[in-house]
């Protein structure tokens, strides 16, 4: 039986995890709705395992993993992520998380991952890291070989870097807007939107990006735009769309 800390900003998700794990014979010692609570409750309860959501208000899951692992290197943390958050899962694993599970959560899979992390406890740290890296190879390969990804979100030193790729289209704008809304509870919020080598965007897409930048600014966040292509920057400046040109770092 493991003593488990459940971290998720959704009360329904916490309840589902609690029910699944208690049915499997484990004990839920505490629940947290954001990363700051998670860190404080970890100090108080010293759980055997933590299930950690990624996108949460105040302090997100990646930041919480980093804080907990820095103070408690032996902490065992399992990331709970959405299907489109694989890049953030990799970031959490680099920070010291031991495993991951994708939403929607399958009860059998969740219990299996918990038991796997418990079962590898006697092994050396190098072995654990090796096994984790091996298990993540399919995701790494997908990330590296997936140029069709319309956008990629990375948390780099508490700055959310949104990389826009050539395949970004009006069909993806809603997904990016939804992902951005999930960041608005992070304070301070600092976002960089990187257009890479893109040369030109449609006016509709530029308006969608302007909608996203205004959303961030309206939440007292900071947003900057960057591009490796001077032609693209000039193109945006010529269109005078909702102040986008003022946000560029050249």
Question: What CATH number has the domain bearing residue 156?
Answer: 3.30.750.24
Range of the domain at 220: 151-249
Q: Which residue has the tokens 């930041």?
A: 63
The SS3 assignment for 72 reads coil
Tens digit of pLDDT at every position of the chain (250 positions): 899 999 998 888 888 899 889 988 899 999 999 999 999 999 999 999 999 999 888 889 999 999 999 999 999 999 998 766 777 888 888 889 989 888 778 888 899 899 888 874 434 344 434 444 444 544 444 444 444 578 888 777 778 889 898 888 888 888 888 778 877 777 788 999 999 999 888 899 999 999 999 999 999 999 999 999 998 998 888 888 877 888 987 6
Q: Are 62 and 41 in contact (CB under 8 A)?
A: no
Number of domains into which the chain is organized: 2
136 and 12 both lie in a single domain: yes
pTM exceeding the 0.85 threshold for the entire prediction: no
Q: Report whether the peptide linkage leading into residue 104 is cis, meaning its omega lies within 30 degrees of zero.
A: yes
With beta carbons less than 8 A apart as the criterion, state whether 195 and 226 touch: yes
Cis-peptide into 183, omega within 30 deg: no
Tell me which of 144, 160, 181 is where a domain ends. 144
Counting every residue written for the chain, the total comes to 250
14 and 127 inside one domain: yes
The residue among 83, 112, 144 that closes a domain is: 144
Alpha-carbon distance of 191 to 4, in angstroms, equals 33
Based on the fold, state whether residues 14 and 92 are members of the same structural domain.
yes
Mark whether 117 and 189 lie in a shared domain: no
Q: Among residues 144, 159, 189, which one ends one of the domains?
A: 144
Kindly state whether residues 125 and 23 are assigned to the same domain: yes
């Amino acid at each position: 039986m493991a003593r488990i800390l459940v971290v998720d900003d959704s009360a329904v998700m916490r309840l589902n995890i609690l029910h699944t794990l208690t049915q499997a014979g484990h004990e839920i010692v505490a629940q947290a709705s954001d990363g700051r609570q998670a860190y404080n409750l970890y100090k108080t309860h010293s759980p055997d395992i933590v299930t950690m959501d990624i996108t949460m208000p105040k302090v997100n899951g990646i930041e919480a993993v980093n804080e907990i692992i820095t103070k408690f290197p032996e902490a065992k943390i399992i990331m709970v992520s959405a299907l489109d958050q694989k890049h953030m899962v990799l970031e959490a694993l680099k920070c010291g998380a031991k495993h991951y599970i994708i939403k929607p959560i399958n009860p059998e899979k969740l219990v299996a991952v918990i038991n796997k992390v418990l079962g590898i406890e006697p092994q050396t740290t190098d072995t654990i890291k090796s096994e984790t890296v091996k298990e993540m190879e399919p995701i790494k390969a997908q990330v590296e070989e997936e140029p069709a990804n319309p956008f990629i979100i990375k948390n780099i030193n508490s700055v959310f870097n949104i990389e826009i790729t050539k395949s970004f289209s009006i069909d993806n704008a809603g997904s990016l807007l939804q992902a951005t809304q999930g960041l608005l509870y992070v304070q301070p919020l600092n976002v960089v939107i990187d257009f890479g080598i893109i040369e030109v965007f449609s006016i509709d897409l530029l308006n969608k990006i302007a909608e996203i930048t205004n959303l961030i600014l309206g939440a007292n966040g900071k947003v900057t735009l960057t591009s490796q292509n001077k032609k693209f920057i000039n193109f945006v400046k010529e269109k005078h769309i909702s102040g986008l040109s003022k946000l560029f770092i050249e």
